[in-house]
């Protein structure tokens, strides 16, 4: 129980630190949200003083000193009300985030789980068939693919599968005429549009799981109890799956929690290339537009998701492996 309490305390402390960092970061950036909006308008022609004032008033750029802003911000965090977006005025931030959230969850969550399961299975296989082509091929291609820059894979898939072969839609989360609804047609349309971005993430993240699992497997396969089990005449496959794989999966699970952060980060690039209306796309636009409220909400959301995932993994780890509960 002490273990769980400690984890919770740590979780809350980290959360607070992340929340605060999240407040400070955008404010350290040069230029104000108004400057960003005007720079955008100025590309279409000169911007007058009146326009500047009107935009400033429309945005309701934060007032008060930094501490008042911080208190106001903490209040926003607690009430989960982040006010109105600057770049997408007059939309509220919560509205935008909730709109984008499902797409990223479907995309990133789904693909990460698939990659984890698939990668772990292949990892078990490679370790079991060590030093055969069944080992070399997945290991080598997996580690090669994991070094592909996310956006590069995205661009190539987009070009060949999207534009040359016309197999998949090239942008958006659903067809231009579809309207979001809880219907089967819409759901399949969303899956169809998510295919290319999903494939990108799968290609680049699968290798990591394969190699992680392979190494963990090889380690456990060398452990005494496995040797003992084998010596006792248990079948090789039974040993691999019942004994070794079950223990080897633990370190991979830790990686799973942390990898979520990396994948969400990578989704910024992927979503950017595919014009996919998820969290990553919003985040990039928020950063460029100096949209403090939106940036804060998104950063918080990403950090909290990763924190929660890690917290759960920690707890699970503690349950599965009593040794960690020191």
Partner 1 sequence: MTTTQNLTSATEAAIKPPRRFAFITRSAATLWANWKSRLGLIILACFILVAIFAPLLAPYGASQDGFERNADASPEHWFGTTAAGEDVLSQLIYGSQISVAVGFIAGLLSTIVAMVIGLSWGYIRGFGADVINFIVNLFLVIPGLPLMIVIAAYLQNGGLVMIVAVIVITGWAWGARVLRAQTQTLRSRDFVTAARFSGEPAWRIVFKEILPNMTSIIAGGFFGAATSAILAEAGLEFLGLGDSSIVSWGTILYWAQNSNALLTGQWILLFAPGLCIALLALSLTLINFGVDAISNPRLREGKSR
Partner 2 sequence: MTNSKTRTKRMSVIAGISVAVMLISACSIQIQSEPDPSIPDDTMLIAADKGSPMFEKIFNPYLFNKRVAASYIYEPLTAVNVLDGTQTPWLAEKVTLPDARTIDYTIRQGVTWSDGEKFTPEDVVFTFNLIKKYPTLDIKGAWQHIESVEIDGDHVVVHLKDDDAPAADVISLTLIVPEHIWKDVKDPDTWRDESPVGTGPFTVGNFSSQQYTMNKNQDYWQADKVEIEHLVLPAATSELDIVTKGFDWAYSYMSNVEGTWGAANPDNKNWFPPGGVISLVPNLAKAPWDNADLRRGIALALDRDKIADAATEEYMSKAGQTGLMLPNQESELNPDIPNDGVIEQDTDAALASLAKAGYTLVDGTLVDAKGAPFTFSVMTANGYTDWLRAIQEVRKQLTAIGINMTIKQPQPAGYQQSIQNGDYEVAMGGMGGGDIFQAYNSLLSSEFHVKVGELAPSNFQRYSNPQTDALLAQYKETVDPAKQLEISHQLQQIVYDQLPVIGLYYGGLWGLYNTSKFTGWPTADDPYAPPQTYDSSPLLIFTKLKLATKDGE
Q: What is the dihedral of CA 252, 255, 260, 263, to 10 degrees?
A: -90
Q: Quickly tell me which residue has 């990553």 as its tokens.
A: 280
DSSP state of 176: T
Nearer CB in complex with partner 1: 59/309 = 309
The answer to whether 272 contacts partner 1 (rule: CB under 8 A) is yes
Closest contact distance (angstroms) between CB of 57 and partner 2 is 4
Among 51, 99, 171, 219, binds partner 1 (CB under 8 A): 219
Quick one: which segment of 12-20, 118-126, 197-205, 287-295 binds partner 2 (CB under 8 A)?
Answer: 287-295
Among 148, 171, 172, 315, binds partner 1 (CB under 8 A): 148
The Cα–Cα gap between 293 and 246 comes to: 44
Nearer CB in complex with partner 2: 226/298 = 298
Among 171, 215, 219, 254, binds partner 2 (CB under 8 A): 171
Residue 26 and residue 296 in contact, taking contact as beta carbons nearer than 8 Å: yes
DSSP 255-309: HHHHHHHHHHHHHHHHHHHHT--SHHHHHHHHHHTT-HHHHHHHHHHHHHHHHHH
Write out the binding residues for partner 2, residues 265-284 only, by CB under 8 A: 275-277, 281
Backbone angles phi, psi at 43, to 5 degrees: -70, -20
Number of amino acids touching partner 1 (CB under 8 A)? 68
Quick one: which segment of 39-47, 92-100, 104-112, 287-295 binds partner 1 (CB under 8 A)?
Answer: 287-295
Closest contact distance (angstroms) between CB of 181 and partner 1 is 31
The Cα–Cα gap between 108 and 105 comes to: 5
Residue 44 and residue 37 in contact, taking contact as beta carbons nearer than 8 Å: no
Nearer CB in complex with partner 2: 190/304 = 190
Quick one: which segment of 90-98, 174-182, 185-193, 252-260 binds partner 1 (CB under 8 A)?
Answer: 252-260
Write out the binding residues for partner 2, residues 30-49 only, by CB under 8 A: 30-33, 35-49
The answer to whether 209 contacts partner 1 (rule: CB under 8 A) is yes
C-alpha angle 290/295/301, rounded to 5°?
175
């Amino acid at each position: 129980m002490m273990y769980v309490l400690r984890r919770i305390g740590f979780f809350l402390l980290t959360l607070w630190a992340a929340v605060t960092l999240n407040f400070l970061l955008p404010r350290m950036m040069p230029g104000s949200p108004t400057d960003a909006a005007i720079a955008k308008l100025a590309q279409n022609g000169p911007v007058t003083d009146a326009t500047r004032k009107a935009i400033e008033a429309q945005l309701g750029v934060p007032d008060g000193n930094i501490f008042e802003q911080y208190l106001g911000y903490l209040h926003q965090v607690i009430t989960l009300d982040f006010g109105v977006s600057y770049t997408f005025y007059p939309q509220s931030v919560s509205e935008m985030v909730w709109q984008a959230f499902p797409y990223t969850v479907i995309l990133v969550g789904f693909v990460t789980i698939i990659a984890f399961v698939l990668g772990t299975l292949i990892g078990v296989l490679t370790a079991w068939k060590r030093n055969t082509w069944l080992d070399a091929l997945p290991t080598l291609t997996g580690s090669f693919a994991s070094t592909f820059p996310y956006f590069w894979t995205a661009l190539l898939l987009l070009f060949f599968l999207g534009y040359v072969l016309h197999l998949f839609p090239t942008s958006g989360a659903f067809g231009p005429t579809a309207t979001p609804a809880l219907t089967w047609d819409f759901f399949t349309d969303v899956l169809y549009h998510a295919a290319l971005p999903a494939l990108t993430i799968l290609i680049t993240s699968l290798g990591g799981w394969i190699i992680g699992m392979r190494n963990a497997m090889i380690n456990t396969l060398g452990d005494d109890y496995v040797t003992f089990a084998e010596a006792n005449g248990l079948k090789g496959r039974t040993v691999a799956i019942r004994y070794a794989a079950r223990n080897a999966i633990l370190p991979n699970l830790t990686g799973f929690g942390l990898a979520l952060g990396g994948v969400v980060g990578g989704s910024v690039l992927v979503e950017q290339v595919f014009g996919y209306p998820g969290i990553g796309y919003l985040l990039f636009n928020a950063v460029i537009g100096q949209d403090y409220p939106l940036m804060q909400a998104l950063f918080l959301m990403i950090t909290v998701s990763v924190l929660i995932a890690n917290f759960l993994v920690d707890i699970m780890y503690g349950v599965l492996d009593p040794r960690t509960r020191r």
